[in-house]
Structure 1
Amino acid sequence: MTGYVAVAEIDIDAPAARVWDVLTSADQLKKLWFGAEVETDWKVGSPITWTGDWEGKPYQDKGEILEVEPGRLLKLTHFSPLTGQADRPENYHTLTYTLTGDTHLKLEQDNNASEDEAKHSQEMWEMLVAKVKQAAEA
């Protein structure tokens, strides 16, 4: 991992398989990702896209699936043109979702340029993991 790392963690009262379903189901992802349509086949090397509107502006984020261990680990890259940065490898973040024990979810995002950027990302990811918990426990 490079740069400053944003980390969001939460304990979820649901089996890892249920949490995995929330993390990879198109319907659930739309709720988690602020209404964006998430498209991928969840295979290593495959593209992933997030298509939606943010504050009235249409966007499409993109990335690649790096690792998949159902019920345990999901690792992917993520780039958003909304950052204003150029679409270059050094401007991509790696998102790593890890499920352990009696379902502890940890989400890490690397390649933040500063502590402030990491803190901002962490606040967003804390909202996302809270939504995963809510959906998995429902």
Structure 2
Amino acid sequence: MTGYLAVAEVDIDAPAARVWNVLTSPDQLKQLWFGAEVETDWKVGSPITWTGEWEGKPYQDKGKILAIEPERLLQLTHFSPLTGQPDVPENYHTLTYTLTANTHLKLEQDNNSSEDEAKHSQDMWEMLVAKVKAAAEGSE
């Protein structure tokens, strides 16, 4: 991982299988990703897109699935045109979701250009992992 790292972590009182479902279910993802439609086939090397609207502006974020180990690891790249940066590899972030014993979820985002950018990203990811926790603990 490169650049400044943003990290968000949470302990979840639910089995890893339930947390994994929250992280990969289209309906759950729409809630996690601020209403965006997330599309992918969850295979290594496949594209992933997030299509939605933010503050009245339509957008489509994109990335690629880098690694997937059900109930343990999900790693993907992410780029958003809303950043105003050019769509070049150095402007993509790598998001790594790791699930460990007793269902601890850790989300890391690399390639932040400054501590402020990393803190902003961390704040956003802390909201997302809290939503994962709420969804997984509320699922039956």
TM-score normalised over the length of structure 1: 1.00
Q: CA deviation at 1:119?
A: 0.2
RMSD: 0.2
State whether structure 2 residue 39 is matched by structure 1 residue 39. yes
What residue is the counterpart of 1:54 in the other structure?
54
**Identity fraction in percent:** 86
Q: CA deviation at 1:50?
A: 0.1
User: What secondary structure is seen at the aligned counterpart in 1 of 2:119?
Assistant: helix
Structure 2 stretches of 5 or more lacking a match? none
What residue is the counterpart of 2:131 in the other structure?
131
The letter of the residue matching 2:116 is D
Query: Per-residue displacement from partner, 1:25-70 (whole Å, max 9, x unpaired)?
Result: 0000000000000000000000000000000000000000000000
* Structure 2 Cα separation of the partners of residues 89 and 17 of structure 1: 32
Correspondence 1:115-126 to 2 at 5 A: 115-126=115-126
Q: CA deviation at 1:72?
A: 0.1
The letter of the residue matching 1:103 is T
The 4+ residue runs of structure 1 with deviation greater than 2 A are: none
What residue is the counterpart of 2:29 in the other structure?
29
User: What secondary structure is seen at the aligned counterpart in 1 of 2:29?
Assistant: helix
* Structure 2 Cα separation of the partners of residues 84 and 42 of structure 1: 27
Q: CA deviation at 1:6?
A: 0.1
Across the two proteins, how many residue pairs are aligned to each other? 138
The letter of the residue matching 1:60 is Q
* Structure 1 Cα separation of the partners of residues 41 and 134 of structure 2: 24
The letter of the residue matching 2:22 is V
What residue is the counterpart of 2:95 in the other structure?
95
Q: CA deviation at 1:134?
A: 0.2
TM-score normalised over the length of structure 2: 0.98
* Structure 2 Cα separation of the partners of residues 43 and 24 of structure 1: 12
* Structure 2 Cα separation of the partners of residues 5 and 84 of structure 1: 20
The letter of the residue matching 2:8 is A
What residue is the counterpart of 2:7 in the other structure?
7
Structure 1 stretches of 5 or more lacking a match? none
